[in-house]
Structure 1
Amino acid sequence: MLRVSEIRLPIDHDAAALPAAVAARLGVEPADIRSLSIFRRSHDARKNSALAFIYSVDVALADEAIVVARLAGDRHLQPTPDMRYRFVGHAPDEPGERPLVVGFGPAGIFSALILAQAGFRPIVLERGKAVRERTQDTWGLWRRKQLDPESNVQFGEGGAGTFSDGKLYSQIRDPRHYGRKVLEEFVKAGAPAEILHVSKPHIGTFRLVGMVERIRHEIERLGGEVRFQQRVSGLRIDDGQLVGVTIADGGELRARHVVLALGHSARDTFAMLQAAGVRMEAKPFSIGFRIEHPQSLIDRARFGPHAGHPSLGAADYKLVHHCRNGRSVYSFCMCPGGTVVAATSEAGRVVTNGMSQYSRNERNANAGIVVGITPADYPGGPLAGIELQRQLEARAFELGGGSYEAPAQLVGDFLAGRPSTGLGSVIPSYQPGVRLTDLAGALPDYAIAAIREALPAFDRQIRGFAMPDAVLTGVETRTSSPLRITRGDDCQSVGLRGLYPAGEGAGYAGGILSAAIDGIRVAEAVTRALLAAGEGGG
């Protein structure tokens, strides 16, 4: 099979156009194509170019060798790589110790799934609730200002990514095609098949809920268990070897192989790990605000005369600006046609995040506009970044009136340095509501100065980005984990055998896809260790 890239077709082409274009590129008759599948589809919607889809396709031909010889040197023609997932091993027939997976976000889900598919019957411990119960609890904060600290946007089945745009792309290196495995499992669980080939796949919250449930059922069908409302409160360690965990309700589980897939907001668990001597280090993360514009403004700025074309959907953007004070400001977790959501997991604090559905058809576009910070900004050890987050989130709670409403300010007022007293044309989407104020006191001075410099610079890239009526909502503090649990090449915690930190909370991923990929990588490390020890869960 051959992979042919850079096939360009008008965006309104009919079904026959693609095989005809591929045949013409290869110099064969359409009848010579035995099969054709789309590997990747992106679009070219630049203002000064013809609206077009650009395809990479995998093709089987009657006589591929002749075509390859004739087109030798064509950089847009290559053998189709083998992207099938291959397990590193399977459990033996004799039962043995069952591995534990702590946390059931993307990293935990895919660690558990791979271990279950390999026959090891993992036990998953999730501190929150099943995804549908969790959804109801999350609405409790959004609609009634009632926070459940154990069941919210951060904690529960599916992890924080469940209440997001559901983006499924990443820029990490993936030589073993783990990402393909993730996407294929999502399709089996109910995701649209297009995520296998569109350039920027996404799913949206409503679809993610059902998919997460189906993957859980598959893990259980294969002999695994998922136990909810089971917060790990301690580790049992014997001479540098993890031998079990304790649960907040007083229970205990013996295990010598534990995947720790916490997510970036398990602050109490991080404190427990530090007290237990698990090695951690502070790492950079980012802080800022959410910004909202009319989605139509972003569409016009990105697509020009093509804005509104049904095949394009809602436009996105990715922006970065390097400031005079040495800081970098960038857009984060951009949600086309989405909403700004309340994402705190602790009482008396306000945190924002972005979310959208598969349709991306809400009125506003939103994104984090965040400033990169480093441990030099929050000295004091591995947990110092968490303390900074808490301070900023408590300040946001205060600025919002102490009722889980979020502080907000119009961009025009923010740039002019004056409090906002009334909304303009952009109606903020954050629930349970916003309180207009002056955001200058919501972040450190260096971050405010950097964002004030960046917004006009972004306006030069996207006309209207600094429109006076655009709304800033604070604060965005949980862009990534503020610490890293150090691990070796075998994915085990440095200094503690049997503990396998994984995913975004451990500091090794950012987003659904990269966290899921890291979960697979860690599951493979656990598999190797179990097989080397002669253990299994068959």
Structure 2
Amino acid sequence: MRLPLERDDERHLRLETARICGIPTERVADLTIARRAVDARKRPALFVVYTVEFSVDDATAADLECRRVAKLAEVQPSAHPDIPRLDTKRRAVVVGMGPAGLFAAWRLACAGVPVTLLERGCAVEERVHHVGAFWQDGHLDPESNVQFGEGGAGTFSDGKLTTRLNHPAMRLILETLVDLGAPEQILVDAKPHVGTDRLRRILKNFRASLQEKGVEVQFRTRLIGMECEKERVRAARLASGRILPCDALVLAPGHSARDTYAMLVDAGVALEPKPFAVGVRVEHPAALINRIQYGVPAHPRLSAADYALTYNRKSDGRGVYSFCMCPGGEVINASSEPGALVVNGMSNLNRAGGYSNSALVVTVRPDDFPEPGPLGGIAFQRKLEQAAFQAGGRNYRAPAQNLMTFLGRGRGAVRSSCRPAVVEADLDGVLPPFVVHALREALPHFDRRMRGFITAEAVLVGVETRTSAPLRILRDANGQSVSHPGLYPCGEGAGYAGGIMSAALDGLRIADAIIAQFQQQEI
């Protein structure tokens, strides 16, 4: 049902449900919201679209079914499955505490598998301190930053939980996050998010839950190799010199673990390069984006507006699109290597910041890479990030340019939320020519979609290069490396996911594959 925003409350929901079904209001019982989304297509008139579940007595149900007024269905039960409990001494080591690693460890522990969970970075409370210090004074810790540490790169993001995947386990993931402290609204919102501030609390609760299940969690612990026996991975080799025996090694590295990728190449693990995208962050005043999307600069019952834009270049077939949009958020310095600079976007749960930002990126293909092989994409990323570091003054200030200046339509101020600061720079000298040309071609198209998008109030901040992993660690139908049985590549950094939800789902899939294998071996 579709209600005007000013009638967005439970009383009107019940009245509208009764009206649609042609029954007295008192016969509508147990009304719950299954899904909620904002409809701004007729702005400034704003509506909320609901899917609801409710109960009626048998006589009313029979009457409704006879009149075909409403589609009746049983309410689906919770998505929590029955996880087999194993009595096994076989051990699993999980590397990486992003969504894939966390949910893989959780599922394995629920099945009774002894799990050791490794993270090269720090616990989230310590990591937040390190990142804050970097944004304040430019002191970068290569092992504890926006990319590395508990929660992975998503810890410093908008915490978006949207996905195009339709899988029963998606409900399980959302319910688990709610149990760990996420707001219950993520169970019904069409575009759920938790915000970086709430994510930190969830991560600490997740860690405690894993430890209660017997998971051994080790921070500041980096994987540097693998031990094999009879052509199967049998142990993880750590930077401390320790050898950690295991029967399954789950590798959920995140898309920025470049030294881990290099180690895999040296070890002969099968990998392949894959496309990704690079570009900039575009930042507008949040009130401007609200006005474009809602028809009003703000509304007390709406959070900051989002958007999604796409364009396909006919000349070369490259896609240009917005990515990881952060309403009411800020641009952040997401660097993880000395002498290189990369940016990302972040917002809190309330999305109450004065700016809204999004990546504007262009597709990059393996034939664009400066060198062949699986590490070619990393070489491409590094070249751009080092150029951005130079253009920003070699002190982790991000190079930025007014949107009008970038388009050659005049000049404008360069104001940004990015910390520690931005430096006005010519982005033509930072980005590859094909990226610059594609952005300049796509921006007028975006402005036709969102009138006012091109404005002197907008700023481009560079560079955005970590949209996804630049390679894929090849695995078979059972989730194991095609070259190294016993190694289970997993999540976004392995090339099999593209966000919090899909990474968490991949973690569950890999854990289920390991559980099935252990069950078979115990027979």
- TM-score w.r.t. the length of structure 1 is 0.93
Task: Report SS of the residue matched to 1:533.
Answer: helix
The Cα offsets for residues 197-222 of structure 1, whole Å up to 9 and x where unpaired, read as: 01111111111001001011001101
| 2:493 equivalent to 1:505 | yes
Task: Report SS of the residue matched to 1:368.
Answer: strand
Shift in alpha-carbon separation, 1:179–1:71, aligned structure 2, 3 A: farther
Cα distance between partner residues in 1 of 2:124 and 2:332? 17
Check conservation: 2:83, 2:110, Cα contact below 8 A. Answer: no
Paired residues for 1:379-390 under 5 Å: 379-390=371-382
Task: Report SS of the residue matched to 1:143.
Answer: helix
| 2:393 equivalent to 1:401 | yes
Q: Which residue of 2 aligns with 1:91?
A: 86
Give 1:13 deviation, angstroms: 3.5
State which drifts further: 158-167 or 485-494: 485-494
The Cα offsets for residues 431-473 of structure 1, whole Å up to 9 and x where unpaired, read as: 1111111100211111100001111111111122111341111
Cα distance between partner residues in 1 of 2:44 and 2:214? 54
Give 1:163 deviation, angstroms: 0.1
Task: Report SS of the residue matched to 2:462.
Answer: strand
Q: Which amino acid aligns with 1:170?
A: T
Shift in alpha-carbon separation, 1:207–1:67, aligned structure 2, 3 A: farther
Among 512, 515, 518, the alignment partner of 2:506 is 518
Q: Alignment length, in residue pairs?
A: 520
Q: Which residue of 1 aligns with 2:181?
A: 190
The Cα offsets for residues 488-518 of structure 1, whole Å up to 9 and x where unpaired, read as: 1111111221111111000111111111111
Check conservation: 2:224, 2:238, Cα contact below 8 A. Answer: yes
Task: Report SS of the residue matched to 2:256.
Answer: coil
Paired residues for 1:522-533 under 5 Å: 522-533=510-521
The Cα offsets for residues 514-534 of structure 1, whole Å up to 9 and x where unpaired, read as: 111111111111111111122
Task: Report SS of the residue matched to 1:183.
Answer: helix
Q: Which residue of 1 aligns with 2:283?
A: 292
Check conservation: 1:325, 1:446, Cα contact below 8 A. Answer: no
Cα distance between partner residues in 1 of 2:63 and 2:482? 52
Task: Report SS of the residue matched to 2:454.
Answer: coil
The Cα offsets for residues 70-118 of structure 1, whole Å up to 9 and x where unpaired, read as: 25485x55443445221452222xx412211100011111111111222
Q: Which amino acid aligns with 1:19?
A: R
Shift in alpha-carbon separation, 1:28–1:173, aligned structure 2, 3 A: same
Give 1:245 deviation, angstroms: 0.6
Check conservation: 1:46, 1:304, Cα contact below 8 A. Answer: no
Cα distance between partner residues in 1 of 2:214 and 2:68? 50
Among 10, 14, 19, the alignment partner of 1:15 is 10
Q: Which residue of 1 aligns with 2:27?
A: 32
| 2:303 equivalent to 1:309 | no
Q: What 5-or-longer segments of structure 2 have no aligned partner?
A: none
| 2:365 equivalent to 1:377 | no
The Cα offsets for residues 371-400 of structure 1, whole Å up to 9 and x where unpaired, read as: 011112115011100011011100100111
Task: Report SS of the residue matched to 2:323.
Answer: strand
| 2:346 equivalent to 1:355 | yes
Q: Which residue of 2 aligns with 1:343?
A: 334
Give 1:7 deviation, angstroms: 4.9
Give 1:50 deviation, angstroms: 3.6
Task: Report SS of the residue matched to 1:337.
Answer: strand
Cα distance between partner residues in 2 of 1:291 and 1:441? 17
State which drifts further: 177-186 or 333-342: 177-186
Give 1:65 deviation, angstroms: 5.2
| 2:400 equivalent to 1:411 | no
Paired residues for 1:69-148 under 5 Å: 69-72=65-68, 77-92=72-87, 95-148=88-141
Among 474, 477, 490, the alignment partner of 1:486 is 474
Q: Which amino acid aligns with 1:387?
A: A
Q: Which amino acid aligns with 1:474?
A: G
Q: Which amino acid aligns with 1:282?
A: P
Give 1:310 deviation, angstroms: 1.6
Check conservation: 2:43, 2:294, Cα contact below 8 A. Answer: no
Cα distance between partner residues in 1 of 2:2 and 2:285? 33
Cα distance between partner residues in 1 of 2:103 and 2:13? 35
Q: Which amino acid aligns with 1:119?
A: G
Task: Report SS of the residue matched to 1:515.
Answer: helix
| 2:415 equivalent to 1:427 | yes
Give 1:10 deviation, angstroms: 4.2
**What percentage of aligned pairs have identical amino acids?**
45
